[in-house]
Amino acid sequence: MSGQAVWHVLGAGSLGTLWTCRLRRAGLGVRLILRGAESLASYEREGGLTLTERSLSQQWPVPAETAEDGLPIERLLVACKAYDARSAVLALAHRLAPDADVVVLQNGLGSQDEVASSLPGRRCIYASSTEGAFRPQPWHSEFAGQGHTWLGDPANPVPPPWLADLGRAGIPHQWTPDILGRLWRKLALNCAINPLTVLHDCRNGELTQHVCEVAGLCAELTELLECCGQPEAASELYSEVLRVIQATARNYSSMHQDVSHGRRTEIHYLLGYACAAAARHGLHLPHVLHLRERLAEKLRACGLPSD
Ligand code: NAP
């Protein structure tokens, strides 16, 4: 695949907009793929995507289309939520070039394999990002937290040539042969912190009042990671969870923000994935199971999907 292929970004939410604007700012070819005609009309009325970074906002008139229209896609960045990724990709599978590369940005685990198994023959590159962005209004993204993105392909350790595009766009990144380890570690951190912030309705820092609960979860998650062949991802999990809680003490977790704004959570790809993996290995993790039940009950009480 040429280094000059156009980036197609599927999903113009917080992270999709952050990536699109930086690629466009670097002079790279980028096009948005939006949900449908209504969404496209709304975007065209807006005139572009706006990125706010360090209090400076700039609008970028990135061309957009729907899944049905347009040229063949050689490079696709999937920036939907985990629960939308597979169906969104299937809707444009007919446009993917035979040698297309697909980058999946979703948090948690499970959606990457759902996408990869829906696109046999295409290279799927998994990403794990600690960057933070939110969407104050449609077609706007605010870059709220500097971070880093790891990319890797569980099926092929050779990095793709287009990684240079990310360097040009100023997207801090690193290729890793152990992307599954990165994703498992992040999943464990998310499972130990995010659901408790929803259940206790608190900022991350307030979990210092619930350290016994956090410690019990970390012990079981460590056992799970080890059993799933991820001993490095399991190493010192509890101390890193405490470090993250302290470093992000003033923040509300992404899951807390989703629930407080009445948005669906990615529970299925976090606690749901952990519980399914435990069941596959015949592991009994009572704290993790109970946490998922309590969270599901809370989500149902809020009128949100519990899976
Ligand atoms: P988001 O703001 O909700 O954006 C998702 C976007 O995908 C929305 O604009 C949504 O459109 C669009 N979409 C869904 N289905 C689509 C379809 N079939 N066709 C076209 N567009 C479609 O989510 P996000 O915060 O950017 O998160 C994306 C993923 O990155 C998640 O897995 C998240 O966990 C992960 N992540 C996010 C951050 C962050 O800081 N935001 C950091 C690290 C990882 P509608 O608005 O019409 O639904």
Q: Report whether pLDDT(114) > 60.
A: yes
> How many whole angstroms separate alpha carbon 296 and alpha carbon 307?
7
- Name the pLDDT band for 4 (thresholds 50, 70, 90): confident
Mutate which of 17, 81, 248 for ligand 1 pocket (most atoms within 8 A of beta carbon): 81
Q: How many angstroms is it from 297 CA to the middle of ligand 1? A: 24
Tell me, yes or no, if 186 is annotated catalytic.
Answer: yes
Residue 202, token pair as written in the block: 């608190």
Q: Which residue has the CA at smallest separation from atom 14 of ligand 1? A: 80
Mean pLDDT of 202-222: 98
> How many whole angstroms separate alpha carbon 289 and alpha carbon 297?
12
Bridge partners of 58, per DSSP, are 51
State what percent of residues in the chain have pLDDT above 90. Answer: 97
Ligand 1 neighbours by CB, cut-off 6 Å: 10-16, 33-35, 39, 79-82, 84, 88, 91, 105-107, 129, 131-133, 135, 266
Which CA distances in Å does 89 have to 61, 78, 200, 296?
Answer: 24, 8, 36, 27
Rounded to 10 degrees, what is the CA torsion of 4, 10, 16, 22? 20
Mean pLDDT of 202-218: 98
For the segment 50-102, what is each residue's pLDDT rounded down to a tens digit? Answer: 999 999 999 999 999 999 988 899 999 999 999 999 999 999 999 999 999 99
Mean pLDDT of 115-139: 96
> How many whole angstroms separate alpha carbon 93 and alpha carbon 95?
5
Mean pLDDT estimate for the chain: 96
Contacts 24+ apart (CB under 8 A), 260-264: 262/302, 262/303, 262/304, 263/304, 264/81, 264/83, 264/304, 264/305
Measured from the Cα of 105, ligand 1's closest atom is 30
Q: What are phi and psi of 205, to 5 degrees?
A: -60, -30
Q: Which residue has the CA at smallest separation from atom 42 of ligand 1? A: 132
**R_g of the chain, CA atoms, integer Å:** 19
> How many whole angstroms separate alpha carbon 66 and alpha carbon 299?
32
Whole-structure pTM over 0.85, yes or no? yes
Residue 49, token pair as written in the block: 């995507």
pLDDT of residue 250: 96
Q: What is the largest CA-CA distance in the chain?
A: 55
Q: How many angstroms is it from 130 CA to the middle of ligand 1? A: 15
Q: Which domains does the chain have, with CATH numbers?
A: 7-177 (3.40.50.720), 181-301 (1.10.1040.10)
Q: Report whether pLDDT(1) > 60.
A: no
Q: Report whether pLDDT(3) > 70.
A: no
- Name the pLDDT band for 2 (thresholds 50, 70, 90): very low
Q: Which residue has the CA at smallest separation from atom 32 of ligand 1? A: 106
Asked if 42 and 48 count as a contact pair (C-beta separation under 8 A), the reply is no
